[in-house]
């Protein structure tokens, strides 16, 4: 569906169901340079099982208007604005990669508004390789190729997509090239590189939190994910073997099962 935040159009997938304000809200926040489509193997399930779902296209990404936001803090405030705009007082947040930085910061800033937090491939800080950052800011498609290489584990490189016939790396590349690379990936990478508040924000979080990490994640390695998770009181950790940073697609079923158990327990549907 489309709505407006700060006078800019926002697109969010509702998981194939009409948006229903009587159902609890789950918001999905994508990673650097990507779009709502990364969540398709999680969002549809929740949308058909008692939740209202918004898989956002961040400003300037996918089908959303406006320009990409330049800091993680601005993105966090924007997600909070989305919750207000769609008429909710609370929501459950799910983030992937950069989306973890955004949702951690958003949760720390809005302790009463966010009810559960689910982090996939998260870390307290995501310093960027300077060369990768430069490639992205200079609109070089090689930035996408490198990101797809590093972001995928065995399923991405060899294959075995959970949806028959889909090929991970090429699909991911297309998602990252939906808009101009320097305006999406370039801005996002710089925002990640600049963000320093992740660990402090994590210490303030007191809500049920889940971290899903993957053994073959080169972008946010398990030890970095654990470092973040250990700062969040009572957080749960689930580690997926033989899987890369794109666990939400590479091991979509496993991720959905873990996420389903966590959210339905801690933020049950009506």
For the beta carbon of residue 203, count every other beta carbon within 10 angstroms.
12
Total site size for other proteins, rule CB under 8 A: 46
Site string for other proteins, 149-168 (x = CB under 8 A): x----xx-xxxxxxxxxxx-
Closer residue to other proteins (CB): 128 or 201: 128
Contacting range for other proteins; rule: CB under 8 A; set: 44-52, 101-109, 116-124, 208-216: 44-52
Considering only CA atoms, which of 116, 150, 117 is closest in space to residue 32? 150
Given a contact cutoff of 8 angstroms between Cβ atoms, the answer to whether 97 and 220 are in contact is yes
- Contact status: 112 vs other proteins (CB under 8 A): no
Q: How far is CA 171 from CA 38, 55, 220, 223, in A?
A: 10, 18, 21, 28
Q: How far is the CB of 45 from other proteins (least distance, A)?
A: 4
Residue 132 binds other proteins (CB under 8 A) = yes
Span near other proteins by CB under 8 A; candidates 22-30, 37-45, 78-86, 97-105: 37-45
Contacts of 174 by beta carbon, 8 Å cutoff, 6+ apart: none
Site for other proteins in 172-191 (CB under 8 A): 174-175, 177-178
Select the residue interacting with other proteins from 242, 261, 265, 269 (CB under 8 A): 242
What sign for the dihedral angle of Cα 243, 244, 247, 249?
Answer: negative
Residues 133-152 that bind other proteins (CB under 8 A): 134-135, 140, 142, 145-146, 148-149
Instruction: Quote the least distance from Cβ 9 to other proteins, whole Å.
Output: 13
177 vs 226, which CB is nearer to other proteins? Answer: 177
Distance CA(84)–CA(88), nearest Å, equals 6
| Orientation angle between helical segments 187-194 and 98-109, nearest 10 degrees | 50
Task: Tell me if 40 contacts other proteins by CB under 8 A.
Answer: yes
Q: How far is the CB of 170 from other proteins (least distance, A)?
A: 5
Question: Beta 114-120 vs 236-240: how paired, if at all?
Answer: unpaired
Residue pair 66/9 in contact by the 8 Å Cβ criterion: yes
Residue 219 C-beta: closest distance to other proteins, Å: 14
H or E segment at 222?
A: helix 222-229
Quote the CA–CA distance of 150 and 192 in Å, as a whole number. Answer: 16
54 near other proteins, rule: CB under 8 A: no
Q: Is 169 in the site for other proteins (CB under 8 A)?
A: yes
Q: How many CA atoms lie within 13 A of 149 on its CB side?
A: 7
Residues that bind other proteins (CB under 8 A): 13, 16-18, 35, 37, 40-41, 44-45, 48, 63, 131-132, 134-135, 140, 142, 145-146, 148-149, 154-155, 157-167, 169-171, 174-175, 177-178, 242, 252-253, 256
């Amino acid at each position: 569906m489309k709505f407006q935040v700060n006078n800019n159009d926002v697109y969010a997938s509702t998981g194939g169901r009409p948006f229903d304000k009587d159902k609890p809200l789950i918001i999905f926040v994508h990673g650097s340079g990507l779009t709502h489509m990364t969540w398709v193997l999680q969002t549809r399930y929740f949308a058909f099982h008692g939740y209202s779902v918004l898989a956002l296209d961040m400003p300037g990404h996918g089908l959303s208007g406006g320009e990409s936001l330049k800091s993680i803090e601005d993105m966090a405030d924007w997600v909070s604005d989305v919750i207000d705009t769609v008429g909710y007082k609370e929501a459950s947040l799910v983030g992937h990669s950069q989306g973890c930085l955004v949702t951690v910061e958003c949760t720390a800033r809005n302790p009463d508004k966010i009810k559960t937090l689910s982090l996939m491939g998260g870390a307290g800080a995501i310093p960027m390789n300077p060369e990768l950052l430069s490639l992205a800011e200079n609109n070089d498609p090689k930035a996408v190729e490198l990101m797809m290489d590093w972001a995928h584990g065995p399923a991405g490189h060899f294959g075995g997509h959970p949806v028959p016939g889909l090929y991970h790396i090429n699909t991911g590349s297309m998602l990252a090239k939906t808009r101009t690379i320097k305006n999406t990936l370039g801005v996002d990478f710089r925002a990640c590189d600049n963000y320093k508040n992740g660990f402090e924000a994590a210490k303030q979080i007191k809500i049920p939190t889940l971290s899903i990490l993957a053994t073959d994640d080169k972008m946010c390695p398990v030890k970095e994910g654990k470092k973040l998770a250990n700062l969040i009181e009572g957080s749960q950790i689930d580690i997926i073997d033989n899987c890369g940073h794109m666990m939400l697609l590479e091991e979509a079923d496993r991720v959905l099962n873990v996420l389903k158990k966590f959210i339905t327990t801690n933020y049950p549907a009506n």
